[in-house]
Structure 1
Amino acid sequence: PGTPLALVTHLGRPDDRIHELATSEELLVVLQGHHGYVSPSWYAPGSSQAPTWNFTAAHLHGSPRVMDAEENLATLTRLVAHFEQAVDEPLYLDPAWAERPMRGTVGLRIDVSRFEIKVKMSQDKDEQSVQNVIDHLHAPGPYSHPDLARDMERERARTPRL
């Protein structure tokens, strides 16, 4: 059901973990989004007095496969093209030049068999407390985290309030 999901990445060839990955039947990849501390002093009066941590995380379970050199080069070429498209004068990967540095990497494809995503963005709080947290995360200070504030705004727009 649906389009298969795969994580495609690469590691430096000297990394000994490659040998373990090549023989693994399944592995777990943990991806972490923006995260940060939330002070209870930011909540509306009468709300919980417990501090917390807001975060997004994904756990991907899958079977790893080490790519051959040709597939690794094709993957690195697509990766560079993706990021270079935003550059004023993009420099795309020349396969003749890339052959030598590419030998220093090992491509890895993980076919994802299942995944779980956890989003904890103060969904259990009242609207005023959520807005206060967002405002504090946008403001300068020791816990300023505008990216986390934007994640909270997106989650608030997506999720009905209490």
Structure 2
Amino acid sequence: MYQPKKYKKDNPDFLFKFIQQHPFATFILNGEKLLATHIPVLTKGNATNFVLYSHIAKHNEQSKYLKDDKEALLIFQGPHAYVSSSWYKEKDISTWDYSAVHVNVKLKIQSREELEESLEALVTRFEEPQENPLYYQDIPRKMIDDHLGLITGFWCEVKDIKGIAKLHQGYDKEDIDSITTHLEKQHTILNSALSENIKKEHTCK
């Protein structure tokens, strides 16, 4: 990850919370070529001591390269958007604001029992906010058994973790107000979320 000093985020709490808030990751490993899959990834542990876990389909091209101690990269990305130079009070360079966390990991294949526990935790995490949640234990057992044979679960031991949040650090209040206002006028979820991140970054300074 390219980390200019003013954008670098290395606080463990920031990194851990970022992963939890943006769990849909890009999972990259090297097979005969570089391969990537987009998957939900959850945490187990706390900010100073945690592992990650997920699963992929056995029909996925990546599946045949999954093995213990295999190295992989997980990329978690937050809201991002183009920032026009026309939004500044003086001429400047257009850019792209964004936030992301990269985690280099070593894999460990899960047992069937670990996979089931992981799936139950995954379903619970995303069903709880639903109006009428359907939890793992509510799914017919035969359907679960049929599904388990089609996927491979794995743990991800964290070997290195880096974070970045490029949110117009170093710009004055007038430019920040203009940037956030223009982002919000575009009425997209990503741009509105990015605007909130920029405001938070500058409020805590």
TM-score (norm 2): 0.69
In structure 2, the residue matched to 1:38 is 83
Aligned residue runs from structure 1 range 1-162, under 5 A: 3-22=48-67, 24-44=69-89, 46=90, 48-94=91-137, 96=141, 97-140=143-186, 145-158=191-204, 160=205
- The answer as to whether partners of 2:68 and 2:106 remain within 8 angstroms in 1 is no
- 1:141 Cα shift? 6.6
- 1:24 Cα shift? 4.9
Tell me how many residue pairs correspond in the alignment. Answer: 155
- The answer as to whether partners of 1:10 and 1:108 remain within 8 angstroms in 2 is yes
Residues 52-61 or 105-114, more deviating: 105-114
Q: Which runs of 5+ in 1 are unaligned?
A: none
Q: Which runs of 5+ in 2 are unaligned?
A: 1-46
- Partners of 2:53 and 2:165 in 1: CA distance: 23
Give the number of the structure with larger relative contact order, counting CA–CA contacts within 8 Å between residues 6 or more apart.
1
- 1:23 Cα shift? 5.2
- Partners of 1:88 and 1:25 in 2: CA distance: 40
CA RMSD between the two structures: 2.0
- 1:26 Cα shift? 2.3
- The answer as to whether partners of 1:29 and 1:60 remain within 8 angstroms in 2 is yes
- The answer as to whether partners of 1:30 and 1:57 remain within 8 angstroms in 2 is yes
- 1:120 Cα shift? 0.2
- 1:12 Cα shift? 1.1
- The answer as to whether partners of 1:4 and 1:112 remain within 8 angstroms in 2 is no
Residues 50-59 or 93-102, more deviating: 93-102
